[in-house]
């Protein structure tokens, strides 16, 4: 690095979801003094644990699975001293329905991608025509480099690849709604292709494995970040040596409503601790950022909330060239809800697989799409997931719950589900953005000096999945660091 001094910046991260936590951990790892502000009482954003009084326990606000391809999340967990093997149930790729009408499992022993082809050919519940149609679609995608026609929806792609109607309903539509939270007639085919690339089309076997958390989402790794921040461990170098100013301070239940610039000059410090070690290329008196009326000023701010909150904060800053177009892009995002029904059963009940596909019938109130085994030691909790849950929200709550309980009893054939004692229904109204074609998703840099954005809605190449959030937060922190460290080297 040409002997240039290491510069520590004061950085604010607004938002304590997976993107914000990833950004904060990355920034402090690069040697910066970081403060994270989260409006909720619990870290994790749309992937967090909440207390359910009716169940007298903590449950997740939604069920999430990860893939072996989610390298950024797994690397982050290891950097935090966590062993993913202990935190996840790792399953070979499979799609099994609760009623037994579909059973697709990648057989052991075969290398990728042959394991998926063999699983499709051996799948129970699909005709030979349907199996060959699915294989043909995957082959066409692979040969095209996982590219789909520009602007195509998933429904249009299914028509182009001549997928039979029953196969669409039984396999493709459930996979689309589960991964994109967007109906096939609206969903972006290119994003769906990226999902298929990392699952059914994985080039290495372990990459397509499904990872189901053994713990609540807060315990999975966000709680570890808070633990390390509280103990001051982030201020330790890789060999236990103290780093002069690197630290992470977390403020929960703190809503930030306004940003403003102040011309008091940068706070950047050299690693020796001297104040005012300015980066070359950063003019004396360069503007810093203040959050609301807080007394401290920041050299950089990383906004890691959803698009509505991010656009509201950016709109409080002075106009910048390109700023109106940036805000218009954020305001163009639409969102869809996800509902999760947690049932407490009278006694222990073990599902034939930790995750099962459910068949919808919305006219009967059968809204459930996936069924998960709970993480409780007593095996008495079940979680029913409803993506694209607008239709469910039109029902009276008790009727919707009764309909989904009826759905489970009908579809868990041969498995007598015990009586339901209690339940909790959680709805995330803005769970994910609608993943439609030609949606303009921004990068991490904004037109406003010193301000970066991160979230699963940025241009990650993924739909609104947790891996996208982690990658976006990491990349935003790296871009922020490179912007300032590059200036210090005169680059």
pLDDT at position 243 is 53
342: enclosing H helix or E strand: strand 335-345
Class of the domain covering 335-433: alpha beta
Delimit the domains of the chain by residue range. Answer: 7-46+219-333+438-488, 93-205, 335-433
* Percent over 90 (pLDDT), the chain: 82
Q: Express each pLDDT in 41-82 by its tens digit.
A: 999 999 999 999 999 999 999 999 899 999 999 999 999 999
Class of the domain covering 93-205: mainly alpha
Q: Express each pLDDT in 363-399 by its tens digit.
A: 999 999 999 999 999 999 999 999 999 999 999 999 9
Contact 104, 120 (CB under 8 A): yes
Contact 325, 364 (CB under 8 A): no
pLDDT at position 235 is 65
CA pair distance 260, 298, nearest whole angstrom: 10
Q: How far is CA 279 from CA 3, 169, 289, 395, in A?
A: 14, 58, 17, 58
pLDDT at position 236 is 62
| Token code pair at residue 379 | 């095996």
CA pair distance 451, 20, nearest whole angstrom: 14
Q: Express each pLDDT in 315-367 by its tens digit.
A: 999 999 999 999 999 999 999 999 999 999 999 999 999 999 999 999 999 99
Cα–Cα nearest to 375, from 213, 265, 251: 213
Class of the domain covering 7-46+219-333+438-488: alpha beta
DSSP-derived 3-state class of residue 178: helix
Residue 288 β-bridge partners: 262
pTM here is 0.92
């Amino acid at each position: 690095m040409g002997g240039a001094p290491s510069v520590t910046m004061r950085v604010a991260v607004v938002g304590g979801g997976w993107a914000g936590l990833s950004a904060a951990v990355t920034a402090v790892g690069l040697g910066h003094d970081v403060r994270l502000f989260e409006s909720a009482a619990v870290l994790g954003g749309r992937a967090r644990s909440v207390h359910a009084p009716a169940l007298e326990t903590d449950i997740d606000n939604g069920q999430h699975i990860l893939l072996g391809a989610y390298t950024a999340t797994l690397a982050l967990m290891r950097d935090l001293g966590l062993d993913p093997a202990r935190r996840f149930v790792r399953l070979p790729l499979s799609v099994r329905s609760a009623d037994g009408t579909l059973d697709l499992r990648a057989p052991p022993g075969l290398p990728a991608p042959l394991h998926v082809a063999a699983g499709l050919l051996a799948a129970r519940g699909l005709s030979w025509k349907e199996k060959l149609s699915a294989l043909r679609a995957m082959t066409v995608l692979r040969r095209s480099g996982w590219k789909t026609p520009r602007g195509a929806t998933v429904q249009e792609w299914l028509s182009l690849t001549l997928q039979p109607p029953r196969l669409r309903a039984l396999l493709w539509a459930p996979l689309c709604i589960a991964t994109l939270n967007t109906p096939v007639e609206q969903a972006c085919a290119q994003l769906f292709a990226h999902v298929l690339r990392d699952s059914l089309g994985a080039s290495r076997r372990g990459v397509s494995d499904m990872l189901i958390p053994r713990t609540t989402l807060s315990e999975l790794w966000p709680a570890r970040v808070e633990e390390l921040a509280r103990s001051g461990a982030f201020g330790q170098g890789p060999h236990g040596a103290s780093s002069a100013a690197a630290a992470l301070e977390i403020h929960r239940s703190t809503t930030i409503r306004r940003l403003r610039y102040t011309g008091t000059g940068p706070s950047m410090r050299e690693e020796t601790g001297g104040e005012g070690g300015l980066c070359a290329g950063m003019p004396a008196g360069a503007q810093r950022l203040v959050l609301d009326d807080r007394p401290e000023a920041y050299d950089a701010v990383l906004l890691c909330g959803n698009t509505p909150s991010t656009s509201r904060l950016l709109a409080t800053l002075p106009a910048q060239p390109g700023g109106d177009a940036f805000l218009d892009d954020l305001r163009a995002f639409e969102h869809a809800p996800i509902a999760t029904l947690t049932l407490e059963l009278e006694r222990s009940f073990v599902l034939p697989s930790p995750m099962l596909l459910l068949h919808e019938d919305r006219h009967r109130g059968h809204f459930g799409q996936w069924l998960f085994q709970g993480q409780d030691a007593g095996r008495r909790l079940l979680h029913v997931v409803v993506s694209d849950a607008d239709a469910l929200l039109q029902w009276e709550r008790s009727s919707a719950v009764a309909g989904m309980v009826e759905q489970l009893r009908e579809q868990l054939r041969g498995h007598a589900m015990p009586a339901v004692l209690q339940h909790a229904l959680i709805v995330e109204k803005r769970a994910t953005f609608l993943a439609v074609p030609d949606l303009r998703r921004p990068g991490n840099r904004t037109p406003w000096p010193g301000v970066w954005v991160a979230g699963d809605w940025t241009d990650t190449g993924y739909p609104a999945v947790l891996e996208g959030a982690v990658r976006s937060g990491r990349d935003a922190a790296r871009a922020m660091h490179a912007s300032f460290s590059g200036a210090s080297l005169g680059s």
